[in-house]
Structure 1
């Protein structure tokens, strides 16, 4: 969990944004940095071990790996990009989905208990430095500079006077807002979810240790809510990884589509 704020002088101090600012472990390296590296190792080891001795009748481990691959390949890449163009982008979409999923799930794993994507820098880097360049690059490559800009900024079928209004809106949406909102979605969900878990956990601990009389029993309610919210958070973590991958594939598909 984040850096929990202890009660000061018997008063309850709820966790806030400062709880996500973790001190460096060594040489400026923080816990989220280590978790990002750990997630890459986990994902690489998972797929390498699952594909080492593949069988026609898959083992449970192989079945899980194939299911994850199928989600990235067919449910996301093929559906959003199209059956004609999706294949070159399967590794990217699968990597984005797996990477965000593992880093999100870190938030509910005992001891680790920190979702890496609750630090805005990580989803922003994925969006601005990975997804954003890719989908604009493939669009420019297919249609050329002028053709791609025309596809993205000039809505087909709109009256010409409307172009003066819609073109600036389309420009800001496609070239500025899309990468930012893509990052903010997963960041906001992970930040808010982890903060809620911290509030219920710290409140339960405070009531149990500091409150008097019957209020101590209320700590059980707070802990119960923390447990329930952990399951809810687990669902949200999976959904947010899926949404990020779907939107990324959708942007690529839109860049490749001539009639967008």
Structure 2
């Protein structure tokens, strides 16, 4: 028996809604409802499931909070304290950290929860491998850090403080102001989006290749069969590494949002 290697095909995951020769739309639920406005593919279902699990977890944990927490409440408070102490307050200080904690915590737990399916059997893919979710989360943080600056300084002063570097020769402002605008108001959400997307997509492709190679080598039934042991061990090791990536990408995403909020709150110190 010889193995056959099938190259990974992400079309059905990343570009759903294929139309058959008969005109039927496949890989979508509710495709016929309201002209497809409520159509759901597998990645969207995973997003909804993971977001719902996060909401249910905190609702259950905090449904009747006790002064001395235990069980699920204790675990939930440990998670929240990690975000509060090591991200929000560490970057923004106690006052502003507590003020923006709901935003930062929401982003952290949503990113973490939607990253996690990449190593969950049966799901096997993070919905963040498609740009929609990372972009929405980045734009959410984008709106918040602009709001923070405008709320403190007013729109005009905030924009001036963000774009105009003091004590520069006037002629240089023609060059510097567009660069500052691009780096602050375009590159920040773009890099947030692409960093999360690229890391999760690369990890998913590597796992697919390793497990596909294991299947291919195992069924060779010759000297190459032993390679299946190597590739499956590599796949397991990389899965453990992906668990670290799942956490780190959530941490970095939330941390950068906190940094951008801090920069907006102190735009006049540019």
Please say whether Structure 1 and Structure 2 have the same fold, judged by a TM-score greater than 0.5: yes
Are 1:18 and 2:11 matched, yes or no? yes
Unaligned runs of 5+ in 2: 17-26, 31-38
Partner of 1:133: 143
Normalised to the residue count of structure 1, the TM-score between the two structures is 0.89
Are 1:231 and 2:224 matched, yes or no? no
Normalised to the residue count of structure 2, the TM-score between the two structures is 0.85
Shift of 1:77: 1.4
Distance 1:247 1:156 in 2: 25
Contact 2:3–2:217 (CA under 8 A) maintained in structure 1: no
Partner of 1:95: 106
Unaligned runs of 5+ in 1: 1-8
Distance 2:15 2:150 in 1: 41
Count matched residues.
Answer: 250
Deviates more, 1:68-77 or 1:190-199: 68-77
Partner of 2:202: 192
Are 1:108 and 2:119 matched, yes or no? yes
Are 1:39 and 2:50 matched, yes or no? yes
Deviates more, 1:40-49 or 1:14-23: 14-23
Distance 2:160 2:223 in 1: 68
Distance 1:164 1:84 in 2: 37
Distance 1:169 1:248 in 2: 21
Distance 1:60 1:227 in 2: 31
Q: Secondary structure at the match of 2:96?
A: coil
Partner of 1:77: 88
Distance 2:161 2:95 in 1: 19
